[in-house]
Amino acid sequence: METPIQSTSARSASSRNLLIIAVIIGVAVIAAGAAILLSNNAAAVTPTSYDGIARSRLPDGGFVLGNPDAPVTIVEFADYACSHCIDYLSTVERFMDEYVKTGKAKFEYRTFPTAGRELTYFMGQIAVCLDNQREGAFWDAKDRFYQMASTGRYDGNSGRVVAQELGLDYNQALACAQSQKQVDTDIALGQRAGVTGTPAVMIRTGSGDLGWIEFGGQRWDRGGVPYEVLAAVIQASS
């Protein structure tokens, strides 16, 4: 499990100008390099097809997949450059196939920079801004960032490459990212909930409250939750 960067709630507006972002990314590429080396043993990530899956956003901007009437939401806090998050993708994919695509549960994704630090903070903002251009682009961008990280290509140019692949305007996304605060919102939510590293997997039930998954006498408050536990929790809530 990767540990997080410090809260960005105190970032000043001036820290989001293009010059400082460029400097941050230059430094972050080096920092992310070590994490990417850890992911070399992970299988290359294949982008998921989201055709037919309802996509929505919560009042605070959080991104959600799945039937709006599903009784349970599984929430993941993760970082594209986190090797443990990359390893956990197969579990998430299986959960998506069995429960999200069938309408039995929802999946909520929160960007929580750890291994990727400022680089993932910035790419998280870019993903949100691409979604502003085309609804659903956030999910496509997320998968492509993971794919790049799993093959050692996640760097300061990743946002431009992904925008081009999706046929979207990178310069528009870059300008948007200077004032976009969704990743700050995600970080603050995770910190309030007690997230200390990635991946962190939590649950929302009908009340909407966010909490740790507890099953079989165990509280899963660190690392990825096994598929069998996710399945049992969803089935028990149906």
- The DSSP string of 200-238 is EEEEE-TT--EEEEEETTEEE-SBPPPHHHHHHHHHHH-
pLDDT for the residue numbered 4: 80
pLDDT for the residue numbered 207: 78
pLDDT band at 139 (very low <50, low <70, confident <90, very high): very high
Residue 115: closest CA among 23, 21, 194, 29: 29
pLDDT band at 224 (very low <50, low <70, confident <90, very high): very high
pLDDT tens figures, 208-218: 899 999 998 99
Q: Measure the CA–CA gap between 107 and 157, rounded to whole angstroms.
A: 28
Query: Given a cut of 70, is residue 108 above it in pLDDT?
Result: yes
Structural domains of the chain, with CATH? 13-237 (3.40.30.10)
